[in-house]
Amino acid sequence: MRPASFNRSYPLLTFLALAIQLLSGLTTLRAATGDSQASSSSGEEVRWNPALPREWVAWNVRRKPFRLLGPIHYVGPAGVSSFLITTEAGHILLDTGFAATPPILRENITALGFKLTDIRYILSSHAHVDHVGGHALMKRWTGATVVASQADAALLASGGTNDYSGQELAVMGYPPIVADRVVRDGDTVTLGGVTLTCHLTPGHTRGCTSWTMEVADEGKTRHVLFFGSTTVLPGVRLVGNAQYPEIAEDLTRTYRTLLSLPCDVFLAPHASFFDLASRAERLAGAPGVNPFVDREFPRSFLASAEQRFLEQLARERTAAAK
């Protein structure tokens, strides 16, 4: 769906999103026993959506939070990242996991000695169910300003239902949220001496956003890249995609953008993308040498991701020419 037509169909999509939540809520009530669920200690029930793939349950298991580099803390569960960037003037939260993730975020943020009510901004990598599902509840708990790119703001407002990828709506849907601030390429979010710069990296979602910041570490300036994602989801076509005709051009430009950014520290919305578990273990075992500082890794990660993209594009072009 194009953003232009989205405006006209927005009330319908919002209704659809709310109906899906209601339906999945009813299903949850019937199928609650035995399924993985997180409940908030304040009595607010936060349940795992049983329509989500079984293998995603492990992504939402709590893991120990830790200070990653400078003001950047990892506060997410084991598989889907959330980063808390702390300053004297308040904090910035990047990504909120699934709708069932906020109790984990609250526990982790509190365990590190920070207050939820000090969170001033909520940012996102891209507006899919596993990264912004918790936005609505985190907004309620913190009163923070929700920041998103224009296209991801449209996806957020639809509760994940106006995504082009054609995945099942019962899986992709999440509590809708209206962005308070829309950012364009090059815009910044500044708080307490920390500046995050927005880089539009469309393709995985139309509004997929990568963020950069600089961190002073051991007398050096470390360039941190919060990668937004470039994954081409199963079933998504790069050639002749009626829902997203410019997807191949967008991804081509996105790889140029990402590879042009200086990067000493590569962080990503999925823990597996940047070897979170093994690097965290090494960080705890050898203070002083930060294993998240790794200049080679982003180049090789992005080069092999781009290679897979180009191979799929070539295959589809060959098939289309026949």
Q: Which residues bind Zn ion (CB under 5 A)?
A: 128
**Residue number, 128 or 139, with CB nearest to Zn ion:** 128
Q: Nearest residue by C-beta to Zn ion?
A: 128
**Residue number, 128 or 206, with CB nearest to Zn ion:** 128
Angle at the Cα of 87 (from 80 to 117), degrees rounded to 5? 70
The least CB distance from residue 52 to Zn ion, in Å, is 13
Amino acid at 241: N
Is residue 210 within 8 A of residue 258, CB to CB? The reply is: yes
Exposed / middle / buried, residue 222 (Cβ in 10 Å: 0-12, 13-18, 19+):
buried
The least CB distance from residue 103 to Zn ion, in Å, is 22
Tokens of 105: 């975020």
DSSP secondary structure letters along 192-210: TTEEEEEEE--SSSTT-EE
**Residue number, 87 or 165, with CB nearest to Zn ion:** 165
Distance (Å, whole) CA 265 – CA 277: 15
**Residue number, 146 or 215, with CB nearest to Zn ion:** 146
Distance (Å, whole) CA 135 – CA 96: 6
**Residue number, 69 or 200, with CB nearest to Zn ion:** 200
**Residue number, 156 or 194, with CB nearest to Zn ion:** 156
The least CB distance from residue 24 to Zn ion, in Å, is 19
Distance (Å, whole) CA 319 – CA 271: 35
Q: State the residue for tokens 């990892």.
A: 74
**Residue number, 203 or 298, with CB nearest to Zn ion:** 203
Phi, psi at 147, each rounded to 5°: -110, 135
The least CB distance from residue 126 to Zn ion, in Å, is 5
The least CB distance from residue 233 to Zn ion, in Å, is 7
The least CB distance from residue 204 to Zn ion, in Å, is 6
The least CB distance from residue 241 to Zn ion, in Å, is 17
Is residue 70 within 8 A of residue 216, CB to CB? The reply is: yes
3-class secondary-structure state, position 182: strand
Alpha-helical runs (H) found in the chain: 3-31, 102-111, 129-132, 135-142, 150-157, 169-172, 247-260, 276-285, 296-321
Query: Hey, which residues does 315 pair with through a beta bridge?
Result: none
The least CB distance from residue 305 to Zn ion, in Å, is 14
**Residue number, 77 or 90, with CB nearest to Zn ion:** 77
